[in-house]
A and B are shown apart, each in its own frame.
Chain A
Amino acid sequence: MAKRIGLESSLACSEAVRLADADVIAAYPITPQTHIVEHLSELVADGKLDAEFVPVESEHSAMSACVGSSAAGARTFTATSSQGLILMSEIMWIASGMRLAMVMAIANRSLSAPISIWNDHSDIMSIRDCGWIQYFCENGQEVMDLTITGFKISEDPRVMLPVGVNLDGFNLSHVIEPILIPEADEVKAYLPPFKPPYRLDPNDPKTFGSVGVPEVYAELRKQLEEALQDSLPVIEEHWQGFADRFGRAYKPIETDFMDGAEVALVTMGSISETAYTAVKEMREAGKKVGLIRIRLWRPFPVEAFIEAVSAVKQLVVMDRSLSYGGAGGPVATELRALMSARKNMPQTASYIIGLGGRDVTRGDFKEMVEAAPSQIDAGRVYDFFGVKED
């Protein structure tokens, strides 16, 4: 009988790794990821998880050790944030380019400079191109569930791509929520042992990481893109399989209050829960607002998104990071690009919010929905919201 207990979301992540029976954890501490790896160390020390915990000397070596471990055929996990994510970015590209399976939890934290331990999405957004599967959790239950599904998706022979599970640092990672912990044997049935289609095996020697001469590099990059796009139906299949077994369904795009909505907020991560309440209140006040919550970021679920937005006239897109000097926030930029090839798409307003842990309230969402039309009329590409100006 699955039991619901009050658990910090970080620890829910560690418990998920325990239930998944990971073989290797190679990780370096960084605020606000620390509780994830500390709890994993405890589980290993107490024999509750039979794994090698490798206390590497940096995040770059964490990801390097994960590449080695995964290539050897072991179920592999790590976690990081912010500066650590950027430090390991060199090897993240290699993990996906070499088509290796692993799961990494990212407790999203803002990037230096200035140094900040507080939450935004600048860390993951600055590495979003790297070929990893990436999705965002909204609450502690999702952290538990989506970490488990991460292994299932990553290790599927049709996929063999690394998975990044994003959870907002502090705002989600350090929050205690009532979480239903699945039974170990149920997880075991859902997630059988890792059987990679290729590994470092002295009985069957293979060469990993050869020189990608010009006569092959472009084909490999095409292969990677196709693999990432083709992983979408597999992700949906395994999320459906999870729903069938555990009763909690996850979709790449979730929508709320969309019936007859003229304008929709677009959010990602834990801020979606605040947005939900704001939209609910706006509806109660008679405003025809809806909410589109992006869960799966890479591969981006284009058709599901287009379907969600088709009926609305206006989108108010939230970004928690910015591409400095460019076209604005990554989410708005990409959504606009994807919609540009279609007809009858809504207009978009774009807001940069919640940088470096700055709070975003229900009132803020209501203000942005009100202000959005004037941004669009004035032809501005995006606005910062919540930054002191006068």
Chain B
Amino acid sequence: MGRKIEAVCRWQDLEPGILILQPGCAAEFKTGDWRTGQKPVIDYDKCVKCGRCYIYCPDLSYELREDGKYDWLADYCKGCGICAVECPAGAITMEDE
């Protein structure tokens, strides 16, 4: 065959039934690239450690840190703005990146 075939791999290298063996490997795909210009900015002085940003994030883009507040993860955040809307302390605003 002359031209390059658009395939993931040779058929011989495929797992049976295209089984995926590595759990959670979607984390290789950085959906942070999907953000269209705005990102959440956190004023930690206002943060009351309620955890809503973390629990309301569809993209698991908040991580609990030692002081009980939450770090924002740029790699996966799609910029939906739910966290900014739902923060009861007004600690999160969506700002241009």
A residues within 8 Å of B by Cβ?
97-100, 160, 197-198, 205-210, 212-216, 218-220, 222-223, 226-227
Contacts and interface: CB of A to CB of B under 8 A. Distances in A.
B18 A215 contact: no
Nearest to B12: A223
A222 B18 CA distance: 12
26 contacts: A97-B17, A98-B17, A100-B17, A160-B16, A198-B15, A205-B23, A206-B20, A206-B23, A207-B20, A207-B23, A210-B18, A215-B6, A215-B8, A216-B7, A216-B9, A216-B14, A218-B7, A218-B11, A219-B7, A219-B10, A219-B14, A220-B17, A220-B18, A223-B11, A226-B11, A227-B16
Contacts of B6: 214-215
B26 to A, nearest CB: 10
Contacts of A100: 17
Interface string B14-57: 11111111010000000000000000000000000000000000
A220 B11 contact: yes
B36 to A, nearest CB: 25
Contacts, number: 54
B14 A220 contact: yes
Given A205-B23, A206-B21, A207-B23, A219 B16 contact: no
Interface of B: 6-12, 14-21, 23
Contact of A99 (B7, B10, B16): B16
- Give the most central of B15, B17, B18: most A CB within 10 Å: B17
A302 B10 CA distance: 26
A198 B16 contact: yes
Q: Across chains A and B, which 4 residue pairs bring their CB atoms closest together, nearest first? A: A219-B11, A99-B16, A207-B20, A99-B17
A223 B19 contact: no
Contacts of B19: 99, 198, 206-208
A198 B23 CA distance: 14
Contacts of A227: 16
B28 to A, nearest CB: 14
A221 to B, nearest CB: 8
Contacts of B18: 210, 212, 216, 220
Given A205-B23, A207-B23, A223 B16 contact: yes
A212 B9 CA distance: 13
A378 to B, nearest CB: 44
A203 to B, nearest CB: 11
